[in-house]
Structure formats: structure tokens, C-alpha cells
Chain A
Amino acid sequence: MVNITIDGIRLEVPENKNVLDCALDAGIYIPHLCHHPNLKELGSCRMCIVEMEGESEVITSCTLKAKEGLNIQTNSDRIRKLRNLALELLLAGHPEECTTCPKYGNCELQSLIQYIGANNARMKHRSKGFKVEEGNPLIVHDMNRCVLCGRCVRACNELRGVNVLQYQRKDLEDYVGTLHNKLLKDADCRFCTACTEVCPTGTIRDKISVAGAEQKREDVLVPCRYACPAHTNIPRYLRYIKEEKYDEATAVIREKLPFPKALGYICNHACELECKRKELNEPMAIRDLKRHAAEQDTGRFWKGKGKQLTDTGKKVCVIGGGPAGMTAAYYLRKQGHEVTIKEALPALGGMMRYGIPEYRLPGTIIDEEAAVILETGVKVETNARVENPAELLKEYDAVLMAVGTHKGVKLPIEGNDLEGVLLNIDFLRNASMGKETGMGRKVIVLGGGNVAFDCARTAKRLGAEEIHLACLESADTMPADEEEILQAREEGIHVYPSRTFESITGTDQVTGALFMEVESFTFDENRRAVIQKKTDSEHHIEADTVIFAVGQIPAISEEAGLKLERGNRIAIEEGQNTTGLKGMFAAGDAVYGTKSVVQAVASGRTAASEIDRYLGGDGDISEQLAPEETPEPYIGQIEGFGYLGRAEADVLDAEARKDNFKLVNLGIPAEKACGEAGRCLQCDLRLQIAKPKIWSDFSDKKEANES
């Protein structure tokens, strides 16, 4: 440590630390532009000039190293004049109109102008005349706004080692760009967007606006993690997968959810829909990679290592052993409570077991992951349907209703109670339990979601000769996953989008169904469906079985003593999981309708946290399982990075799968997993970059101190 004096204030600072940082850290503002806390000093902008005792010329404080006895003045007439001149020079080539700039209000240059008070009036103003480059994914380049601070170049070269951005020159006008003005993808850019992060002006910008967004900054910047209902730290575990560290990767996943493997098989991967990589070519295969990691995992980082608080003596009953219930039970147990799951069906799993067919998610996977939950001491009663949940509050301190949506819905059309009309839930459950389903030889499935496809494909495997699936939605708006539709077609299932269901025909026994073609299908302002049919398009499809797969609702009635709302869902208080009945909570599909397993997990987690708080805990169910490591910011160059294609999972051939319940998706081939993980843009790396300080940060502080 050495002693230096800045503006008469004596400071003790580490030797050789640059004087600018010394001042900023001590609350003394020195204007600066090319300086950035994460980058090597360039000393070019001349904003941070200071006077030093014993030195006749002004010097840049960013390049000045602290030495014993240094005496610095940050302000004098000479300094102000030179700073002013430097800023005037920068503004001479910068657009005059601030308010039309997307960076308005968040611009460091604007802040400097306000602080220094310069304008371009004395200088010859020019427009640089660069074309705004919008042809790149994720990033916009508007070199007319560039003040050549060189932060982006240093970020790209020194911080990241990607070496895409360089100083360029055209007709004596300097700018930042790629060699030969190649598009970023062709220049092997890794789209880490460090350049946009450090750009002080509106020159290099995100295509999506970060500043104006409703979400938190990091949620906009790392959209996969935000899109995942459980907020799994996706970039972090993908990095581990890239390094073949599957134990670490799985531990990262397990920090947020107890079903890494099951979700690796069947997650609806909202994350992939938001993955920024899709702007380059295809999104990351996040789900398949998760499965790959979970399958290689040895449990080194989490088995017996997670959080387990001492017993609280409080008792919780979780009604329903599906993903929401099991998740809540798991985390409540870890908080030290005694937890009992009451499951109406013979085994744990809920819809994971009785809804999702075996060919998508083998029951053994559910057994394996449920076993981990039971190991924590969660007790389970199966075949234990609860008719009167409120009654349980006498025995338990809290009760969680996680009963799911186990009741199929029939449409009010003619013939809906004929012999041969089945319901999705019953059909799938019977099939999964090996029971008689009541299905004939020719089957019509009504519905276009994943459950409808589960029904159709299960029917195929149970030996139906002819299967037709019809839905109201058009081919592009069908709610089912694309892969489901494709695989169903491969298996010989006839899919008819844009059909209305007019009636089911037959006198006692189903003989088929009448359909019309849909001209247009929209929703009005009250979210009611508005359907226009094509005239004379009525047609009949013969069948002996019709399966309704048009939604499902909780199998619960008012008699349970809980307030129900639209769709028979359990009413909860705004933003909470409380039902209005003291000690009674609800979570999962039963609250918000059928969504997804990962949504149920997320709901189970919030419910667990809330119940823990209700029982006197702190509600903090977070766990640190994977090692805490700072990711490497120096990501280097990868030739053709932007063009690396997505690795697809191997799929069992249609012929080999259509008459049995063998697993269809065989997972991503092991040799492709690391490469696929390496395609990740690592959007989260940008969060490591510090925010530069501007003068208002200091004036705010001063005002706060004064008041």
C-alpha cells in the first residue's frame, strides 16, 4: 500500500493500481470514456487527464500508476479546457441528435456531455455516412455513433480472445468492424455480446432492447434461464457438459429440480424456444444435453450432500405424488419438516407415469428419481385418495393440494356418450397400467396437443388399425411439439388440422365422426373462439372409437371444501399458493391447468418455500451443489462457430417402434454431446462485465449523504 493525495484527500491505495480507479473507488469522480473496469487501459480519450505534482504536462489518470507520495489534481482551468476540447473533438463526428438514439438516457457519452458541458459548436461537424449494419443476428452496428473508445475491440480481443472486431478505416474515417466488413457470422464471431455490453454509446447495440424491457436485465440477457420455469442455470451446466463434467452439470440442474433425467426425456423445453442461438441457426439442444448429463451422472456432487435442516417437528401432507407434489415434498423435507405424500394411484409419478406413455418416459426413470426423494425421509401412501383434504389439517400443520388434472373433458357435441367414446386421461392411464382400454380397431382422436398425440400413438402401439387425429388448430398453430407431430405421421397416424367436430355418429356404438373444415380460427377480445367453417366441407370419418383429448381438469369437486374457479381449478390467492383455508396450500396443474412437468416442479418449489415460511422457516430452499467456479471469460476463436449445426438425438425407426412401447428418443449420441454444448453462446458471461461508473452515480451518493 502507498499513500497518494487526490484533490487534497489522502488515500491509502495498493501500489501500481491506476490512479483513476483509486479515485473512483474513493468516491472521487474523474470523467472517463475509454477506460472500462474489465479492460486494459488504452489512454486515448483524454477525459481522465489530471495534473501531477512535479510534472508539467497533464497525464491520463487511467495509465498513471499509484506510487508513494503522488499528488494529483483532478480539476483546474487547464484540465477543464483540455477535457472540453477532447470532448468537442469527439462530438465533431458524432450525431447531434441524442433523443432519437436508442441509447438515449443510458449513454455514457451523453452523461459526459452533461458533466463536462461541451458541444460541437466550435468544430467542423461531419456525418460519417456509414450504413447501419442490421444484417447480423443479435447485434446492430451503427458506426456513425462510434467515438472510437476501442472498448469493444479490447473486449473482443483481450477479454474474449475472439479477435473479430478491429479498427478499420474507410476514406480516412476510422471505425470498428470485421476484416473486409464480413458479417459477424462469417468472421467467426461467438456472439458473446461483450462488445455491446461495453459500448458506451448507441454504436454496438443489442437487437432486443435491454434497457426498456420489463424483465430484469439478466433475465433479458440470459433468456433460456429465465424461460425455464424452474430457472435452471442452463449456460452453467452446458459449460460443464462441454468439458465432459457430467457430475458437475447434473449437480447444477439438481440445484433447481429433482428430476434431471425425466425432464431430460420429456421437458417441453421452453428454454430452447428462447435460446439466442436460434438467431444464428438452430437453438441449443438443451433438453437432450440435460438427459445426456443426467445419464452419465454418478451423483458425486449431490448424493447425500444437499441441504438437510434438522427436524422441525412440523408435519406436512402433500396430496398428489406427481411432479409438483414430489418436488414440494422433497424441499419441505430438506427444510426439516416431516412430509407424507398421499397418492391416489398405485405409484408415484402422477402424469409423468399415468399420462406420458412409456415410449416417451420409461417408468424406471420415475422410480429412480422418486427414490432419491424418498431417501430424504419423505413418507408415501399410495392408493390413498383423499376425499376431504380439510380434515387432514387436524393431523398436519400444513396440507398441499397437488392433485393435478386427472379428469378428461368431453365436448358438448351430439353422440359424446355413445359406446366407444373415451377420455384421454382414462385411456392413457389404463394403457399405462396394462388395463383394458375399451379401444376398438379404428380410432379418432379429437385434439391437437401433446396429450392427443400421446393417445393416438398409444392407440397405435395397442394395435389400432387406423388412427385419425383431428384438431381445430391449423398445422402451424397446433399446440403439440413439432417432433410429436412428425413422429406420429411417421407411425402412420393421419393428422387433420383445421377441423371442427360436428358430431359423433352412431346409434348405440360409435360409427365415426362428422367434421367440417375450418376457414379461420381466432379468438375475440373475451378470449372466446371464433370459428369460420368452409361451406360444404362436411365429411365423415369412420371409426369405432373416439377419444376426447381436448383438455383435462382437476378431479375435484366443491365437496372437497375448497374454492374452485374456472376449469375446476383450485383458487389460490394472488401471487401465492395459499387457498384461503389456513394451512391449506395448492400447487401444480390443479392451480393453473395442464402445463408441463417443469412448470409443476417450479410450482412445487414455490409452494415448498411458502409452506416453510408458514411453518416458521426462512423459506430459503436454495442449494449449492455444484462447485462454485467463475467461468472462463477468454473463450477464444472457433472457426465457423456461427454455422455449427445442432446435434439431433437418435430416434428409433418408425417401423421398429410403432407396435411396441420401446423408448423412441435414444438421446444425443455421446460423441456429439460436447460439441453440441460447445455451440452455446454463453450469454451469461456478459453478466461478469462490470458497469462503468458515471458522474451521476457519485452525485446521487453525495446527495444521499447530505440528506
Chain B
Amino acid sequence: MTKEEAVGTVASLGIRELGVYNGSLADSWKPFLSGDDSEKLPVKLVAALNNNDSEKVLLEVVRSSPEKVLDGMEIAGYLLGAEEMILYLPEAETALKAELEASAADRGIRIVNDDFVDRRCFEGCAIHHIATTAALADGFAGSYAPGVYAAVRKNGVTGELKKIPYGTKVSDIIGTEQGEIKAVQIGSRLYDASALELEIDENFPMGNGVITVFDKTACMIEEAEKRLYESRKMGCGKCTFCREGLLQLQSFVKDITKGKGKNEYLPLLHEIGEALPYSTMCSIGQTGADFLTGTLTRFESEYDGHIRKKACVAEVCTAFVTIYIDPELCTGCGECMDVCPEDCIEGKSGFIHMIDNLDCTKCGKCIEVCEEGAVKKTAGRVPKLPDRLTKCGKFKKR
């Protein structure tokens, strides 16, 4: 098989690049194969996870079939005439590196433990997702099956990574025992419940392959803030928009979750969020605001709630909730007083306890410890409460 024929095979199989660039693998090679650029730098071939992948479930592809990944790299390296081949494994995966080192060395592949591929160091080089090289190996072994990888994350638990054929509906991936779904995050992007009806096709941006399901207990703004923070932690600090833009976005969003949001924040969130995808060098900045822009377009009402109505529908943002002790239920046992880290619960044995809302940080420890369920959280109005020490059972609502 000549090189041209081999590249033709890649094209005819329709093998896709599964990383940041979402398109035909053969097309992505055109600049390397055309050979008319005299100033071309020596080509290096890099296989890695996406920089923005904090979950790293796709590493399973390397774990389960390391030879495929390495074979695929070797094939790509050969076809592109790469002078160097580097496999990036996450920083923590030193054991995996050690395991693969010998077999990689046989193919002339160097392995490094680094979560971050500095694209600036690989100008004019081929950077492929680990899953892409595995697919490439399949392609030449005659076992290529089109599709994507996905793992479902619910209630903080990530399920098994599965290969999903194109044409599968999102709801089929998530499964039936789902309950009420408010939002779905696929890769870096956020969708509302209508996403369940989407079919995963070859153009679908799967990102890191994780499909996260949110029910009504999730505050989308608070979730956005967490993701902005995560992205900031991953960034290398070079691109202005990634470094400063994500910082500004996070501070604005944080203000909003703290009840200090202002209406004029919203156009700025849009402006910065929309500029990020094309104002940064790698996936960390490019997708860092994806979730946020999703909340802005699909969960606009939550912003209105937080900023204008001063309410978090999911009752997650503690700034908008009040914790109080139901005078009807309190038995005056003192458990809540003991666990309160702020010492802001007043009372004595047999008397109805009272929370000083000035000092309360809304940590919720008192709610957990109360066996009577007397400590309650509300985003709405607080009922009439005693204002002085009152014996249990003696409080009258009047």
C-alpha cells in the first residue's frame, strides 16, 4: 500500500478526528501532505487528550487498548513523515507511562506525563486525540466502527465509557431510569432537556465524551461558576481571553450566585463568552465559557431569578436561602447548637432554638444533624419565629 492509498483508506473509511478539530482526519492531514510549503517546520505527531478534559474518561481508550493507540500513532507518524512522535498522558498517570514505555519506545514514540499540550510548541504539527489514533489503528486492522465514546455522569458518579454508534439518541445513551431532567451537558456544552431527543451524528461535538445529567436540584448558574473555575485552573496563563476573560466571567457569575449580581453583567457575560472560542489558542479557552453561554441562552430565567428576584430556584445558592428552626418541631435537644461552626444558634435545653441569620453561613450542618427535621431551609418566606427564649411547645403564632 502506498502512502497515497493509505491516506485514501483513511478518507474512505470516514475516520474522524475526535479531538478539538471535529472533522475528517484525512482532510486535517492535507497541509502536511501537499508539500508545497517550503518554510514548513519539521512535523511532530502528538497524541493526547484535549487540554480542556478535566474528567479524562477517554483515557480508558489507552488503558483498554494501548497497542491500538500506539499503532495508530505509528501509522499517522509514518504517513505524515513525522520526525518525532509524542504521547501525552495525564500528569498523574506515571504508572501507565511506565507500563507503555517499552512498547512505545519500540515504535519510536516518546511518552510524557503532562496534562497540558502547549500548542505554541507544536506549530505546524499534527495533534490528534488519543481516541483518533485508536480509530486509525482499527481502520487499518479492518475493525473500524464509526461512532463516538460516551460516559454518563449523574449525581456525581460517572458511568462506564461506551462506544456509541452514530445515530444514537442522547436519551438512549442516558438510559431510562433517569427521572426528571432539567439540563444535559455533553462535552463542554450545555443543553436543556430537549437535547434528549438529539441524535449523535459525526458532526456532534462530543468533547470529552462525558454526558452530565442535571435535575431540578442543580442551579445552572452555580454549575457555570464551578466550570469557569475549573477552566481557569487548567489554563496556562498565556492567552489574554482565557486568563483574564475566564477570571472576569467567574467573578461576575460568582457575584450573581452571591446575590450581588447586576443586570449590566449580562451583556458582558455574552460579550466575553462569545469572544472566547476564537480568541484563544487551545480548547481550555475555546470551550471554557461554553457551559456559561449555554446557561445564558437556555436558562435565562435563572439569571433573572438571581439578579432581580433574588431567588435561586434550585435553592443551591445560599445567598438566597434562609435556614430557620421550626418552633413547632424543635425539641430543644441542643444537637444543632453543638455542630454549628459559627456558634450562631441560641437556645438551651427544652427551649426552642433560634438561628442568628447575621452570622449563619448556611453550611447546613444543623439541618443534617436534626433528627426531628425541625431545621429547615427555604428560598421563600420565613414563618413567624420566636424572638426570645421560649419553652418548647409554648410558642404561639398569634
A493 CB to closest chain B CB, in angstroms?
63
* Contacting residues, chain B, for A65 (C-beta < 8 A): 39
A566 to chain B, nearest CB (A): 64
A90 to B278, CA, bound (A): 17
B268 to chain A minimum Cβ distance, whole angstroms, is 6
What count of chain B residues pass the 8 Å CB interface test? 25
- Judged by a CB distance under 8 angstroms, whether B54 is at the interface is no
Contact segment of B65-73, B183-191, B212-220, B230-238: B230-238
Label chain B's interface by main secondary structure. Answer: helix
Is B268 in contact with A174, judged by CB distance below 8 angstroms? no
Q: Are B275 and A85 in contact (CB under 8 A)?
A: yes
Chain A residues contacting B245 (CB-CB under 8 Å) are 89
Partner of B240, one of A16, A45, A124, A169: A45
Cβ contact of B278, chosen from A44, A57, A92, A172, cutoff 8 A? A57
Query: Does residue B56 face the partner (Cβ distance < 8 Å to A)?
Result: no
Do residues A44 and B281 form an inter-chain contact, with CB atoms below 8 A? yes
Complex alpha-carbon distance, A150 and B237, angstroms = 10
Question: Which of A118-141 touch B at CB < 8 Å?
Answer: 122-124
**Contact A82-B243, Cβ < 8 Å, known A43-B281, A148-B237, A174-B237:** no
| Residues in A whose Cβ lies below 8 Å from that of B39 | 16, 65
Would you list which residues of chain B between 92 and 124 have a CB under 8 Å from chain A?
120
| Pair A124/B252 contact, Cβ less than 8 Å | yes
Shortest distance in angstroms between A159's beta carbon and chain B's nearest beta carbon?
16
Does B279 touch A at the CB level, under 8 Å?
A: yes
Q: Are A124 and B251 in contact (CB under 8 A)?
A: yes
Find chain B residues with CB under 8 A from A122 CB. Answer: 264, 268
Please measure, in the bound complex, the distance between the C-alpha atom of A65 and the C-alpha atom of B271, giving whole angstroms.
28
> Is B232's CB under 8 angstroms from A172's CB?
yes
Picked from B244, B252, B264, B275, the residue with its CB within 8 Å of the CB of A93 is B244
Contact check, A89 vs B244: say whether CB atoms are below 8 A apart.
Answer: yes
Which interface residue of A46, A89, A90 has the most chain B CB atoms within 10 A? A89
**Known A85-B272, A167-B238; contact A90-B244, beta-carbon cutoff 8 A:** yes
Q: Point out the residues of chain B lying under 8 angstroms from A46, CB to CB.
A: 239-241, 279
Let me know if A89 and B237 touch, CB within 8 A: no
A86 at the interface (CB under 8 A from B): yes
A58 interfacial contact with B, CB 8 Å: yes
Count of A interface residues, CB-CB < 8 Å = 25
B232 close to A167 (CB less than 8 A): no
Beyond A85-B271, A86-B279, A124-B252, whether A172 also contacts B241 by CB under 8 A is no
Query: Does B248 touch A at the CB level, under 8 Å?
Result: yes
Query: Does A42 belong to the interface (CB within 8 Å)?
Result: yes
Q: Which of A44, A92, A172 is close to B239, meaning CB atoms less than 8 Å apart?
A: A44
| Contacts of A83-121 to chain B: CB distance below 8 A | 85-86, 89-90, 92-93
Closest to A81 in B: B271
- Which chain A positions have C-beta within 8 A of B271? 85
Are A167 and B236 also in contact (CB < 8 A) when A46-B279, A58-B278, A122-B268 are? yes
CB pair B240 A150 closer than 8 Å: no
Q: What's the Cα separation between A522 and B232 when bound, in Å?
A: 63
In B263-285, which residues have CB < 8 Å from any A CB? 264, 268, 271-272, 275, 278-279, 281
User: B243 contacts A123, CB within 8 Å?
Assistant: no
B238 x A44 contact (CB < 8 A): yes
CB–CB A89/B239 < 8 A: no
For B120, the chain A residues whose CB sits under 8 A away are 42-43
A90 / chain B contacts, CB cutoff of 8 Å: 240, 244
Within 8 A of B (CB), among A44-101: 44-46, 57-58, 65, 82, 85-86, 89-90, 92-93
**With contact pairs A42-B120, A124-B251 given, residues A86 and B236 touching in the complex (Cβ less than 8 Å):** no
* Chain B residues near A124 (CB-CB < 8 A): 248, 251-252
In chain A, what residue has the closest Cβ to B279? Answer: A46
Contacting residues, chain A, for B236 (C-beta < 8 A): 167
Residues of B within 8 A of A169 (CB): 237
Q: Give every chain A residue within 8 A of B248 (Cβ-Cβ).
A: 89, 92, 123-124
Given A43-B281, A44-B281, are A167 and B237 neighbors across the interface (CB < 8 Å)? yes
Closest-CB distance, B217 to chain A (whole angstroms): 28
Give the contacts of A463-512 with B (CB-CB under 8 A). none
Minimal Cβ-Cβ distance residue in A for B236: A167
Known: A57-B278, A172-B233. A89 touches B268 (CB 8 A): no
Question: Are A174 and B251 in contact, CB atoms less than 8 angstroms apart?
Answer: no
Residues of A close to B240: CB separation below 8 A: 44-46, 86, 89-90, 148
Q: In the bound complex, how far is the Cα of B355 from the Cα of A28, in angstroms?
A: 67
Q: Give A90 to B237 CA distance when docked, in angstroms.
A: 12
B238, B251, B272: which contacts A42 (Cβ < 8 A)? Answer: B238
List residues of chain B with CB within 8 A of the CB of A172: 232-233, 247
**Assembly CA distance A82 to B281 (angstroms):** 16
The contact of B241 among A89, A93, A174, by CB within 8 Å, is A89
Chain B residue numbers with a CB within 8 Å of A57 are 278
| B39: nearest chain-A partner, CB-CB | A16
8 A Cβ contacts from A154-185 to B: 167, 169, 172, 174
In the complex, A16→B40 CA distance in Å?
A: 10
- B124 CB, nearest partner CB in chain A, Å: 11
Name the CB-closest residue of A to B37: A16
Report the Cα distance A122→B265, complex, angstroms: 9
Across the interface, do B238 and A148 meet the contact criterion of CB distance under 8 Å? yes
Q: Mark interface residues in A413-430 (1 if CB within 8 Å of B CB, else 0).
A: 000000000000000000
Residues of chain A within 8 A (CB-CB) of B264 are 122
Inter-chain CA distance A82–B278, complex, in Å, is 11
User: For the complex, what is the distance from the CA of A172 to the CA of B233, rounded to whole Å?
Assistant: 7
Which residue of A16, A58, A148 contacts B243 across the interface (Cβ within 8 Å)?
A: A148
User: B245: nearest residue on chain A (CB-CB)?
Assistant: A89
Instruction: Tell whether, in the assembled complex, residue A174 and residue B278 are in contact, meaning their CB atoms are under 8 Å apart.
Output: no
Contacts of A85 in B (CB 8 A): 271-272, 275
Determine the distance from Cα of A376 to Cα of B398 in the docked complex, in whole angstroms: 121
Q: Determine how close the nearest CB of chain A comes to the CB of B234; give it in whole angstroms.
A: 11
For A42, list chain B residues within 8 Å (CB): 120, 238
* Chain A contacts for B278, CB-based, 8 A: 57-58
Give the docked Cα–Cα distance between A45 and B245 (Å): 12
- 341-372 of chain B: CB within 8 A of chain A: none
What's the Cα separation between A257 and B243 when bound, in Å? Answer: 55
- A94: nearest residue on chain B (CB-CB)? B244
Alpha-carbon distance between A277 and B271 when the two chains are bound, in angstroms = 50
Report chain B residues within 8 Å CB of A93. 244, 247
**Complex contacts, A45 vs chain B, CB 8 Å:** 240
Q: Which of A43, A92, A167 touches B244 (beta carbons < 8 Å)? A: A92
Chain A's nearest CB lies how many Å from the CB of B90? Answer: 18
CA distance A93 to B248 in the complex (A): 10
Q: Mark B52-82, 1 if CB is under 8 A from A, else 0.
A: 0000000000000000000000000000000
The distance in angstroms between the C-alpha atoms of A92 and B232, with both chains bound, is 16
Please give me the residue from chain A that is nearest to B237 by CB atom.
A174
Cβ–Cβ < 8 Å partners of B244 in chain A? 89-90, 92-93
Instruction: Give Cα A249–Cα B275 distance, bound, in whole angstroms.
Output: 56
B254 to A: closest C-beta gap in Å: 10
| A172 CA / B247 CA spacing, docked (Å) | 9
With contacts A45-B240, A85-B271, A122-B264 known, what are 15 further pairs, Cβ within 8 A?
A16-B39, A43-B120, A43-B281, A44-B281, A46-B279, A82-B279, A86-B240, A90-B240, A92-B244, A92-B248, A93-B247, A122-B268, A148-B243, A167-B238, A169-B237
Return 26 A-B CB contacts under 8 Å, by A number: A16-B39, A42-B238, A44-B239, A44-B240, A44-B281, A46-B240, A58-B278, A82-B279, A85-B271, A85-B275, A86-B240, A86-B279, A89-B240, A89-B244, A90-B240, A90-B244, A92-B248, A93-B247, A122-B264, A123-B248, A123-B268, A148-B237, A150-B238, A167-B236, A167-B237, A172-B232
Name B's A-contacting residues (CB within 8 A): 39, 120, 232-233, 236-241, 243-245, 247-248, 251-252, 264, 268, 271-272, 275, 278-279, 281
Q: Which residues of chain A have a CB within 8 Å of any CB of chain B?
A: 16, 42-46, 57-58, 65, 82, 85-86, 89-90, 92-93, 122-124, 148, 150, 167, 169, 172, 174
Q: Which 4 A-B pairs have the closest CB atoms?
A: A174-B237, A89-B244, A57-B278, A124-B251
